[in-house]
Amino acid sequence: MAKVKLDDNKIQKIKDICAAHGNKAGEAINILHEVQNTFGYLPAEVQELIAEQIHVSAAHIYGIVTFYSFFTMLPKGEHPISVCLGTACYVRGSEKILDEFKRQLGINIGETTPDGKFSINCLRCVGACGLAPVALVGDKVYGRITTDQVKDIIAEYQN
Amino acid sequence: MSEYKMHILVCGGPGCSASKSEQIAANLRSHLQQEGLEKEVNVVLTGCFGFCEAGPIIKIMPDNVFYVKVQPEDAKEIVQEHIIKGRMVERLLYTEPSNGKKTPLDTDTDFYKKQVRIALRNCGIIDPENIEEYIALDGYKALATCLTEYTPEKVIEIVSASGLSGRGGAGFPTGRKWAATAKSKAEQKYIVCNADEGDPGAFMDRSILEGDPHSVLEAMAIAGYAVGADKGLIYIRAEYPLAIHRLQIALDQARDRGLLGKDIFSTGFNFDIELRYGAGAFVCGEATALIHSMEGLRGEPTMKPPRTSDKGYLGMPTNVNNVETYANVPAIILKGADWFSSIGTENSKGTKVFALAGQIKNVGLIEVPMGITLREIIYEIGGGMNGGKKFKAIQTGGPSGGCLTEKHLDIPIDYKSLSDAGSMMGSGGMVIMDESSCMVSIAKFYLDFTVEESCGKCTPCRIGNKRLYELLDKITQGKGTMEDLDNLRNLSHVIKDTSLCGLGQSSPNPVLSTLDNFWDEYVEHVKEHKCRAGVCKALMKYEINPEVCVGCTACARNCPVNAIKGEKKQAHQINQEACIKCGTCMEKCKFGAISIK
Ligand SMILES: Cc1cc2nc3c(=O)[nH]c(=O)nc-3n(C[C@H](O)[C@H](O)[C@H](O)COP(=O)(O)O)c2cc1C
Ligand code: SF4
Ligand code: SF4
Ligand code: FES
Ligand code: FES
C-alpha cells in the first residue's frame, strides 16, 4: 500500500480527537469512529498515530480496525455505491444488481474506479426492505432497482 | 400536542424516507403556511408505520384517515381537500385487495387487523423527537410508578409474572435475568441495551429506536431501579445514524426534564445513559462480545459462566437486554403482568415484532401475538404471495434460523414450536420465498454471511463454516457428490456441538433445515445438474427457440456482452461461450422465445 503522508493539520486533528477521549485505550473504537468520520478512512499511518496517543501497540489498533467491517483502510470513491445484500434484497435479486454495477464500472467489491469517482461496497439491510432490491449512492437510497436502471443511476453522478 | 387542531403524521421510516417522505412533509408545511394554517395543523415526521409496502404513508389525526403511496405533489390536494374542506382524497386511500374497498382507517385493513401493538405502540403515532408527545401517551408514568410505589423486588416480580422473555433471539425470561443481576453484589452495576441488530434482513430494533426512543430509555431506567444500577449503555450500530440522532435528542430531552440524571422524581434514584457505537460485526450482538466491544476491544465472545449478570462491563454485574424486550416493559408496568400474560401461548407470552420481507405482497414491520400461525401472517397480514406466485419457504431467525415449508404453516408460533420445527424465533427476521429461490443458494447465502462474520476464535466455526460454504458452492456449480451431502450434515453437527458462542452453535441451521426440508432440490443439483429455480448460473443455459423467435433483434440489442447473433426477421442464436447468463434477453423477448434449460 502506498504510504500516506500526514500533514501537520491532520496530525493535530487526530491528536485532538484522542485527547477529547482522554487518550484512553478503552475509547479506541469511539476514537476510530470519529477519525474515520473526519478523514474517510484509516490508513496505517493514522492507526500508528492513534496507537501512540492512547498508549497501545499499533497491532492492537490494527486488530480492531480489521475486526470491524465498518472501518476501512482504503479510501472510498467520491460517490460510494453500496448494494444491499440483506436477506430481503437478496431474495428479490440484489445480486444481479451488484453484478451489473460491477460490470458497468469495471471494478470489484471494495475497489474504486481509477478516476476516484465510484467505489462499490455491499451492506446488509438498510431498513428499506419494502423497496428491495436497494442500493445507496452516498446517502441517497434507490429502491426497486432493475438491472436496466443501473446505467442511469451511474449517469446521474458522471459529471 | 394541545395547541394544534390537527396533526398530519408523515412516515419518516427508512422505506418511506427513501421514497421522499421528508419532501412530502416539507411540501405539506409550505402549503399549510400559504393557507395560514401552520399554527393549527402540525406536521410530524414519525417512525415507521409498519406498512412499508404501501409507503410513503401519511395519517391525519384526529380524523384517523391514512393515505398511501403519497407523492410530494399530492401535498397541495391534501391540504386543500382534506384539511380545508374536510373531504377525503379518495385516490390516495388504501384499497383492500381482498374486497376492493377503500379503507380510510388503518386498523380496518387486513394488514393491521390481526396485529397487536405493544412494543410498537407509539411508532407512527408520536413525534419521536418530542418528549411531550411521549409523555402525553403515559410516557415515563411507568418509571414514576416504579420509583414511587414499588420496591425493586416488586418490579422484578411484575416483570417475571408477565412472562416477558428476551426478544433478541434466545428468549431467556427477562424477570429471571433481572433477578440475577439484582442479586449480584457490587459497587457499580450496568444496564445495557443491545441495539446491534445483526440479522441482515431485519429492522425491528431500528424502527423502535427511530419511532419511539423514549420507551427504551424509560425501560432501562426501570431496569436500573430494579437491579440497582445507576448507569446505562446503549450499544448501537454506527450504520443507524438516524436512530443515533433520535436517541441523542431523546437523551437530552429526558435529562432536561429530570427524567434521567440525579434524583429522578425526587426519589433519590440516579440513572443516566450513554451511547456506544458498534462497527459492523454480527458477533458483537452476542452479549459477551458486545461487552468486550464496549470496552474498546475486538468483539470476541468469551465462555459463560461467568454470566454477564455476575461479571459484565468492566467486570461488573451487567444486565443485557434487547431493544424490543425493553420496549415492552413500560406497558407491562402500567397495564399489569396479567394483561401481558393473557396474550400469547402457554410458554410464550406477549407479542413479537417481525420484519416481513421477500416475495410477499405486504413487506413491512408487524407485531403479532405469540400463537398466531405463519399462514395468518403470510396470507392475511402479508396479503399473500407477490405476483400470485407459489409459496415455497419461510425463513425465520436469520443466519441462526432455518427454512420452513408449507407443512409448517399452521403451527402456532412461539419459541418452542419454531425450534421444534427446525427453525427459531430469532430476533424477528421473516423472509418469504417463492419458486424463484434456490434453497441451496439460500443456505450458501447465509453461510457466506457466517464465514465473513465468524470472529475466528474457535476452529470449528472459523474453518468448519468455510468448509460448509465450499461444499455448498461446489453443489451450486454442479460439481457436488452425494457424499458431499453427507459431509454437509456431519460437519454441521460438529460445528454446532463444538463452537463456543451462539454464532457457531447455530450457523449450520440454514444448511440442516434446507437439507431436511428440501432434500430433493439438493439431489437434483448433484445428480441432474439442475437448479429448478434457475438461480445457479453454472447449471443453466439460455436458449432461443427458433420456432418461436421472430427475429425482432430485441435480445441481441440488449445483450450486454453481444452474445446473440442473428439476421433481422430470422431466428437468433446465443453464443454459450460468451453468455454471462444475465437473463436480460429473456426479459426483453416479447415473444417468449427464450428459456432457461
Ligand atoms: C451471534 C449472535 C448475535 C446476536 N445478535 C443479537 C442482536 O443483534 N441483538 C440482540 O438483541 N441480541 C443478539 N444476540 C443475543 C444476545 O446474546 C443476548 O441474548 C440478548 O441481547 C439478550 O437480550 P434479551 O434477553 O432481551 O433477548 C445475539 C447472539 C448471538 C450468539
Ligand atoms: S463460535 Fe465462531 S463467532 Fe463464536 S466465538 Fe467461536 S469463532 Fe467466534
Ligand atoms: S443471458 Fe445475458 S449474456 Fe446471455 S445471451 Fe442473454 S442477454 Fe446475453
Ligand atoms: S435487506 Fe435490503 S433493505 Fe433490508
Ligand atoms: S418506512 Fe414508512 S411504513 Fe415503514
Residue A2 has pLDDT above 60, yes or no: no
Task: Give the residue from B87, B113, B139 where a domain finishes.
Answer: B113
pLDDT at B388: 86
> What is the whole-number distance in angstroms between the Cα of residue B168 and the centre of ligand 1?
4
Q: Can you give the CATH number for the domain in which B564 is found?
A: 3.30.70.20
Q: Where in chain A is the domain with CATH 1.10.10?
A: 8-67
Angle at B121 between CA B116 and CA B126, to 5 degrees: 145
- In chain A, residues under CATH classification 3.40.30.10 are 79-156
pLDDT in tens, B98-140: 899 999 999 999 999 999 999 999 999 999 999 999 999 999 9
The Cα A145–Cα A92 span in angstroms is 10
Between CA B490 and CA B492 the distance in angstroms is: 5
The whole-number pLDDT of residue B1 equals: 45
B194, B197, B425, best to mutate for ligand 1 pocket (most atoms within 8 Å of CB): B194
Cis bond leading into B306, ω under 30°?
yes
Q: Distance (Å, rounded) from C-alpha A54 to C-alpha B465?
A: 36
The region that residue B96 occupies, defined by phi over 0 for left and psi between -120 and 50 for alpha, beta otherwise, is beta
Q: Is residue B345 part of a domain?
A: no
Q: Are B207 and B304 in the same domain?
A: yes
Are the Cβ atoms of A67 and B433 closer than 8 angstroms? no
Residue B521's domain comprises 439-528
Q: Is B40 domain-assigned?
A: yes
CATH architecture designation of domain A8-67: Orthogonal Bundle (1.10)
Same domain (yes/no): B360, B424: yes
Residues B49 and B56: their CA atoms lie apart, in Å, by 10
Whether omega for the bond prior to residue B546 falls within 30 degrees of 0, making it cis, is no
Task: Return the CATH number at B414.
Answer: 3.10.20.600
Neighbours of B237 (CB within 10 A): 22
Residue B126 maps to a domain: no
Residues B66 and B57 sit within 8 Å (Cβ to Cβ):
yes
Query: Which of B314, B340, B366 is the last residue before a domain boundary?
Result: B340
Output the nine-digit C-alpha cell for A20.
477529547
Does residue B270 form part of some domain? yes
**Contact at 8 Å (CB) between B259 and B140?**
yes
B2 has a pLDDT exceeding 70: no
Q: Which of B473, B495, B528 is the last residue of a domain?
A: B528
Q: Cα distance from B156 to chain A (closest Cα, Å)?
A: 32
pLDDT digits (tens, 9 = 90+) for B211-231: 999 999 999 999 999 999 999
The complex's ipTM works out to: 0.90
% of residues, chain B, pLDDT over 70: 100
Would you state the cell numbers that stand for residue B1, as one nine-digit string? 400536542
CB atoms within 10 A of CB B96: 15
Ligand with the closest atom to the CA of B555: 3
CA distance B493 to chain A (A): 24
B192 and B300 together in one domain: yes
**What value does the mean pLDDT take over residues B542-555?**
94
- Predicted confidence band at B367 (pLDDT cuts at 50, 70, 90)? very high
Number of domains in chain B: 5
Residue B88 lies in a domain: yes
Q: Which of A29, A127, A130 sits opposite B296 (nearest CB)?
A: A29
- The fold adopted by the segment(s) A79-156 is Glutaredoxin (3.40.30)
pLDDT tens column, B424-456: 999 999 999 999 999 999 999 999 999 999 999
The position carrying cell 382507517 is B105
